[in-house]
Structure 1
Amino acid sequence: MNRTDRLYAIVEELRVVAPRPRSARWLADRFEVSSRTIERDVGALQQAGVPLYAEPGRTGGYVLDRKATLPPLNISPGEAVAMAVALSRLEGTPFASPARVALHKLLAVMPPADAARAGDLAGRVHLVKRPDDPPPPAPVPSVVGDALVAGRVLDLGYIDRNGEVTRRLVEPMGWLSGRMGWYLVAWCRMRDAARMFRMDRLTDVRDTGEPAPLRELRRDQMDIPDDIEVHALAFAA
């Protein structure tokens, strides 16, 4: 489990048991890391604004504020399985890790009987992959998606169109999904312009921690021909 997944999982574990505490040692055993790692993770979550606090005493530990927990959701087993099927299609995309966490959250707040029925129904759903299906796209490193969400500059090792490995400092702007997989659209400081970076051409990537300025993402920055239809995601109110 990478650190991003573990941070989400720690919050979910504390949410499920709130207002009871979980000790650093218990969480360390649960996630197979050291207590010191858990303490650093909790500190990072607190700095990010997650309402966690330490409860002192022999039976104390870390507690998530109950106001941050969700009530049981009125979602049917069929609706839960529909979401699970949709989320399973996100493997290899920038949203694979958040999808797994979202599904875990969904099941955790469903009434136990409905969650059990959803689990039984999910066991009756089988997804078949044909031998002639196209290969899955290159997986997207979680550090790239995290940097886009948090607005931080990335240091990339990237294979350009000539096969040369170059180092780039880039400011993430958005994602483009196409026939060749996922592209990060980012402002490249070396080129002083917006560029698209294919995930299968990354040799390594590092989050510099430097805040990236917010830049407008326009179609003309993505080098898409005018006769190609482009769809952007939107949330309905």
Structure 2
Amino acid sequence: MNRFDRAMAILLLLRNSKLPLSAAELARRLEVSKRTIYRDVDALAEVGVPVYAEPGRDGGFKLMEGYFISPIAFSVGEATSLLIGLALLDRLRAKPFANELEMARQKLLAVVPDYLHDILRQAEQLIGFEDLPYDVFHPEPPAAETSLSELSEAQVITVFLQGILERCAVEIGYFSPYSKARRNYVLSPNGIIWDRNHWYLVGQRPNTSPSLWRADRVMSITRHPQPIRDPSPFYVADWLGRKWLDEAIRNWAEMSPVVIRMTPAQAERLQRDWYYGHAEFETIAPDAILMRFGEGNQAWVFELLRWLGHGAELIEPHAWREAFIAEMQAIVTTYHAD
């Protein structure tokens, strides 16, 4: 084993060991003398590797916590896949660890051979990602004047992720465009989800189940001294598929119930929608289905009814029926104007 291979072997052994490794143990594993180990460790330190010695009976050499050993070789496919991932992250509206993103790309390009470097540079020019288009059928409340900038949203994600990695609580100031109010919460951070151009924080208040918090509505976020002891296992896969919308729409339906009668074909189309697909659909006749969901904005419900067209009937709120009839009559009048 030459000196370079031996130095890399020492790095890998230290990186993969939770306990310090003595010079004697390293010498035994690599079948060299302790003097050779000391010389190799000194060489690693001279080139900037953060290796240090812990004294004591159980002491030995360790790498500084968090030190990352860069790969020394990539195939074209491996390096391209990593660059595609970085390019996709770069296209997100709010990027966690935004300052580190470009440095990671440069480090990746720096460790590949020159011929591969040129190929990967070309890949960056040829591979792109479109932004998610605006969803005209699912409008959102206008952003509050006090909402954060996109850069601040990226910082929110970064601090929240740091809380996950360091197992520390965070305190957020959260603004709801529905209640028009800001409230502060102390959360144990569990995970994050990217969905339809928005980041969602999955966090848990004391003695409650985890909840979702939209990152662009977080007005402030700081570390909190509250300790997190024995966190419950969290699997983000349990939250994918927008399962949280099932309960949310049921709650909204209790506050602002909307019921629409429609044909099976219309119901089948809506059940494929990312949002309306989580509403309640009940078959009441071979040719009729009731859809139940929650919505307090009359204009948005009328837009859905116009899109559904013939075969759809607003059942509840009954008080909205006259207004919708008047709107339909106005449309008919427009067509008879000539």
TM range (shorter): 0.5 to 0.7
Contact 2:109 2:117 in 1 (8 A): yes
Q: 1:158 aligns with which of 152, 174, 177?
A: 174
- Measure how far apart 1:222 and its partner are: 6.5
Contact 2:88 2:129 in 1 (8 A): no
- Measure how far apart 1:169 and its partner are: 0.5
Deviations 1:160-200 (A, max 9, x none): 341211111100011223236111111123x7332211001
Correspondence 1:223 to 2:244: yes
Change beyond 3 A, Cα 1:207–1:164: same
Contact 1:51 1:68 in 2 (8 A): no
Contact 1:72 1:111 in 2 (8 A): no
Deviations 1:112-140 (A, max 9, x none): 33224422x1353263757x8349x9543
Contact 2:190 2:204 in 1 (8 A): yes
Task: Report the residue type matching 2:89 in the other structure.
Answer: L
Task: Report the residue type matching 2:86 in the other structure.
Answer: L
What residue is the counterpart of 1:208 in the other structure?
224
Q: 1:172 aligns with which of 189, 204, 226?
A: 189
Task: Report the residue type matching 2:116 in the other structure.
Answer: D
What residue is the counterpart of 1:114 in the other structure?
116
Distance 2:102 2:174 in 1: 28
TM-score with structure 1 setting the length: 0.55
Higher helix share: 2
Contact 2:45 2:51 in 1 (8 A): no
Seq. identity, % = 21
Contact 2:87 2:124 in 1 (8 A): no
| Helix, strand or coil at the partner of 1:193 | coil
- Measure how far apart 1:145 and its partner are: 1.3
Contact 1:185 1:222 in 2 (8 A): no
Q: Which has the larger radius of gyration?
A: 2
Task: Report the residue type matching 2:185 in the other structure.
Answer: R
Which runs of structure 2 are paired with 1:52-201 in the superposition (5 Å)? 52-53=51-52, 69-70=69-70, 72-76=72-76, 79-91=78-90, 92-94=94-96, 100=102, 102-119=104-121, 121-122=122-123, 124-125=125-126, 127=128, 129=130, 133-134=133-134, 139-141=153-155, 142-160=158-176, 161-179=178-196, 181-189=198-206, 192-201=208-217
Distance 1:70 1:21 in 2: 14
Contact 1:156 1:169 in 2 (8 A): yes
Distance 1:183 1:144 in 2: 11
| Helix, strand or coil at the partner of 2:246 | coil
Contact 2:172 2:218 in 1 (8 A): yes
What residue is the counterpart of 2:334 in the other structure?
none
Task: Report the residue type matching 1:140 in the other structure.
Answer: A
Distance 1:134 1:95 in 2: 26
Change beyond 3 A, Cα 1:104–1:184: same
Deviations 1:64-123 (A, max 9, x none): 78x9644521322x653443233221132447566545434432321233224422x135
Deviations 1:205-236 (A, max 9, x none): 0012544231233648972428899xxxxxxx
Query: Structure 2, unaligned stretches of length 5 or more?
Result: 1-42, 54-62, 136-148, 248-270, 275-338
Contact 1:173 1:215 in 2 (8 A): no
Aligned CA RMSD, in angstroms, stands at: 4.1
Query: Structure 1, unaligned stretches of length 5 or more?
Result: 1-16, 23-49, 55-63, 230-237
What residue is the counterpart of 1:33 in the other structure?
none
